[in-house]
Structure 1
Amino acid sequence: MTVTSSPRRALDVLLGDPARELVGAVLAAAVPDTENTGTPNLRSVRPTAVTVRPSGATLVRYAVELNRPDGTPVRETLVAATGSLVPEGAAIVSGEIGGEPMRVGLWRWPHDPALPALSHVVDRDRLRTVLAHAGITPTGPITVHVRSYRPARRAVLAITTGPHHLFAKVVPPASLPGLRIRHELVSARLPAPTLLATTDDGLALMPALPGSSARTALRRGHRLPDAEALENLLDRLPADLTTLPGQPDYRRRARHYAAVLALTALPEGSDRSRVAALADAITEAEPGDHPVVPVHGDFYENQLLLRSGTVTGLLDVDTAGPGHRIDDWATLLAHLTVLDTPASRDWARSVLRHVEGRFEPKKLRPRVASAVLGLATGPFRTQRPDWADRTRQRIAVAERWLTGR
């Protein structure tokens, strides 16, 4: 795999003018022109999600608007990737940019080479076969709505047919065994989705669970579970999760987030120095000794479904495994702090009182700061127009957590 000599080179290319030419070339080959009347007219190419690695490997998802040669408007989703983020099977465009070699992998939704099951989910005939394997006979039209798509990593789609409300999660085929075992373990003890059917190409079908997300409850002023209820939920995670692979610890993640921020979202040298100093302080803080226990691994408000303040669903158990309970709490506190609404601040204060009764604040705060630093990459990743200001605001939040101010 050819990697450009400048870590930022791929980012500059995929977010700059050359991206339009790359996208246009893919669409000219991929969008059928049955009348042979010419090539599509590309109207706009807008980046909607950006993933960057410290090495400079970059992946960009684009929302594309074009007109077919007959004038019919069309919307497409395309993805371009470089370096280690290019999956096997992507179409490759090679060339030179500014005298440096560059190799770009490209694909068009839903034909993600890392997620081969994705095109099957959006194909109604193939989906009917999967539903049949799950014992579900469609009694009417099948509707499929995309809930999330992280190119080459995963997609979540909501499926409705008659009285049946389902979700399909699509992951790389190699990730499916781990996903399957985590769902089997967790759903046996907690209100996590059971898997109704899986396919070898990376599809997991599961039922929709009752309730609405805790984020929705925050927004609507509904009742929320207290910290003791959340503690009980986490205590019920099965011990067998500790035999599975775990996640990188908060210090490694802080280094990673700082490198990504320096590469992508912080053009000012003073900002980069600030983030580097913050990552140094996080990694140098005394972590303390904590027992290895089963953890969720990505525990925050959007992973909880609630009904009248009671947890009815625990979602996204893909990350469950061995870890430290303090880190699950740190992740929740980081998300609630970044939401920064009156309701989220109240819930965060209540949770913090509970957590500080169990863990030393000086051991908790670096972990929350690391999680907030990860969230600071979000505004650029989602290409918000005000990403620079929001990034700096989140860095400041991480600093306040670290220092206890």
Structure 2
Amino acid sequence: MTLDRALALITSAEVGDVLQLALTGDPSARLPGFRFELDKVHHRPGADVSAVYRIWYDLPSAQARTEEWLGLTSAAVTEGVATLVHNDLVLRAWRHPADPRLPGLVSACNAEVVGGWLGAPVELETLAYRPLRRAVLAARGSRPGFVKVLRPDKAPGLAERQRLLHAAGVAPGVIGEPEPGVVISEVAEGRSLAQALVAWPDDPTQLPSPQSLVALLDALPAEAVRLHRRGSWSDRIDFHADGAIAALPELRDEIVAVREELKRLLIAAPVGPVVPTHGDFYEANIFTVDGRATSVIDVDSVGPGRRDDDLACLLGHVAVLPHLSPQHYSRVAEVVEQWRADFELRVHPASLRARTAAVILSLVAGADTATALARLDLARAWLVRAQQAL
């Protein structure tokens, strides 16, 4: 209940009072010209909810308008935050980029510092940011790279995985680890599979075949099976169903029914052996050269798992693209069917389809209502197909 209240407050207009309290320390203070914009929300059902806001207000003494970024979370962070109480609800705030659990983010957001790391001037673009968890920035210049910021205890595992895959020829190299929690990577050669999918109707030669995608997975080094195993989308189906319920509370019973039937199918369907897996194998993390799938990025989850889950991850993510951007991905369903037919020669159809449904269900949380409804319908459709296959 407390988490539900926190989510409701963080996404409401009322949160403006909390943000002004964070800036002034005075519950009754009102900043002149105060305005805010919710930039992103990261909700972890059953755990916490965090958000980032862009804020503007006037400074009469300086005759200037100030712009700031603030982070706000329900997580029990104890250091580097201001603790706020609003109607008995406790929240913590910080000035971005001073994320209390990502100490490397301050340096990673400073172009001069990153330029020093790379030995050349750069411009920075934030590509992804999950408060308290991770951030990815692109450093563009004569020596480009990608700067990934993690909790300090997570970064060594990422660097180990990336070096392992780079030695196998399937991932860009690690440039360095300049601070605890910061890993800088080389830029992958070629274009992402997402870009190839956009270009596909006009240039089909640039889209990798399903055989090429499977060959990329086959090239993952055997040593990966000795790494720590992380749960797949299907392993975490309860968590993702809770996220879907938070997004569509009025459809709770339907989502629970989908979850329970998927759990039954996942137990009943034959599954392949444990093999090296990427763990997040989808179009943004796969790179192509001349129509071949050649490398992967975002290798945090590399380790032992089931080939079924990697293939389902790709199908599930690509299947939702038409809802995300119809003008770019209107014919992607044809590609999904082509890949599915090939993948089902390699893993059991019921297992692949049920796991694809689980991936799509995981994408319901965090989407706007219309998109969440469309994804839930798509998850149901793949569930029915799994039932038919079994």
The match for 2:345 is 357
CA contact (8 A) 1:295 1:328 kept: yes
- Quote the Cα distance in structure 2 between the aligned partners of 1:220 and 1:43: 44
Distance, in Å, in 1 between the alignment partners of 2:126 and 2:3 is 32
Distance in 1 (CA, whole Å) between partners of 2:219 and 2:163 is: 14
Q: In structure 1, which of residues 290, 295, 299 is the aligned counterpart of residue 281 of structure 2?
A: 299
Counterpart position of 1:123: 110
For 1:22, give the aligned amino acid: V
Map 1:160-179 to 2 at 5 A: 160-161=140-141, 163-179=142-158
Counterpart residue number, 1:399: 380
- How far is 1:343 from its partner? 3.6
Matched, 1:389 2:381: no
1:301 alignment partner, SS class: coil
**Are residues 1:21 and 2:17 paired?**
yes
2:79 aligns with: 89
CA offsets per residue over residues 203-234 of structure 1, 9 Å max, x none? Answer: 11122223222112222334210011111110
Cα pair 1:10 1:56 within 8 Å, conserved? no
Is residue 56 of structure 2 the alignment partner of residue 65 of structure 1? yes
Question: What does 1:250-289 align with in structure 2 at a 5 Å threshold?
Answer: 250-262=233-245, 264-268=246-250, 271-285=251-265, 286-289=268-271
Aligned match of 1:158: 138
Q: How does 1:5-404 map to 2 (within 5 A)?
A: 5-28=1-24, 41-55=32-46, 57-69=48-60, 70-82=62-74, 85-95=75-85, 97=87, 101-131=88-118, 137-138=119-120, 141-161=121-141, 163-221=142-200, 222=203, 223-262=206-245, 264-268=246-250, 271-285=251-265, 286-340=268-322, 341-379=329-367, 387-404=368-385
Are 1:112 and 1:151, in contact at CA under 8 Å, matched by a contact in 2?
Answer: yes
Q: Tell me the secondary structure at the aligned position of residue 127 of structure 2.
A: strand
Alignment CA distance shift 1:39-1:225 (3 Å): same
Quote the offset at 1:129 in angstroms.
4.1
Distance 1:96 1:67, change over 3 A: closer
Secondary structure of residue in 1 paired with 2:171? coil
Residue of structure 2 equivalent to 1:134: none
TM-score by length of 2: 0.88
Deviations 1:179-217 (A, max 9, x none): 111011111113312111103421111222232221122
Which amino acid letter does the alignment assign opposite residue 314 of structure 2? L
Instruction: Give the 3 Å change call, closer, same or farther, for CA 251–332 of structure 1 in structure 2.
Output: closer
* TM-score, normalised via structure 1 length: 0.85
Check whether the contact 2:241–2:361 (CA below 8 A) recurs between aligned residues: yes
Q: Deviations over 1:108-164 (max 9, x none)?
A: 211111111111123344334423xxxxx32xx432221221111111111133x21
User: Residues of 2 paired with 1:226 and 1:318: CA distance?
Assistant: 25
RMSD: 2.2
Assess if the C-alpha contact under 8 Å between 1:90 and 1:105 holds in 2.
no
Task: Tell me which amino acid in the other structure corresponds to 1:183.
Answer: Q
Secondary structure, aligned partner of 1:168? strand
Asked if 2 retains the 8 angstrom alpha-carbon contact of 1:337 and 1:348, the reply is yes
Q: Does the CA contact (< 8 Å) of 1:209 and 1:312 recur in 2?
A: no
Q: Structure 2 vs 1, CA of residues 81 and 91 (structure 1 numbering), >3 Å: closer, same or farther?
A: same
The 3-state SS of whatever aligns with 1:318 is coil
Higher deviation after alignment, 246-255 or 177-186: 246-255
Structure 2 CA distance for partners of 1:92 and 1:370, relative to 1, 3 Å: same
Equivalent position SS for 1:155: strand
Q: State the alpha-carbon separation in 2 of the partners of residues 71 and 216 from structure 1.
A: 46
Alignment-mate amino acid for residue 66 of structure 1: Y
* Pair 1:364–1:111, CA change in 2 (3 A): same
Q: Describe the shift of the 1:42–1:374 C-alpha distance in structure 2 as closer, same or farther (beyond 3 A).
A: farther
User: What are the ranges of 5 or more consecutive residues in structure 2 without an aligned counterpart?
Assistant: 323-328
Equivalent position SS for 1:257: helix
CA distance 1:41–1:207, change in 2 (3 Å): farther
Q: Structure 2: how far apart are the matches of 1:158 and 1:339?
A: 23
SS at match of 1:25: helix
Structure 1: state its 5+ residue gaps. 30-37, 132-136, 380-386
Corresponding residue number in structure 2 for 1:32 = none
Per the TM alignment, residue 277 of structure 1 is displaced from its structure 2 partner at its CA by 0.5
CA distance in 2, matches of 1:61, 1:234: 36
Give the structure 1 partner of residue 326 of structure 2.
none
Shift of 1:397: 0.3
1:52-78 deviation line (CA, Å, top 9, x unaligned): 233262112223233333453443322
How has the CA–CA distance of structure 1 residues 51 and 123 changed in structure 2, closer, same or farther, with 3 Å as cutoff? closer
| Deviation per residue, 1:315-362 (Å, 9 max, x gap) | 101111110001000011001111133442122111101111112211
> What SS class does the counterpart of residue 328 from structure 1 fall into?
helix
* Aligned twin of 1:384: none
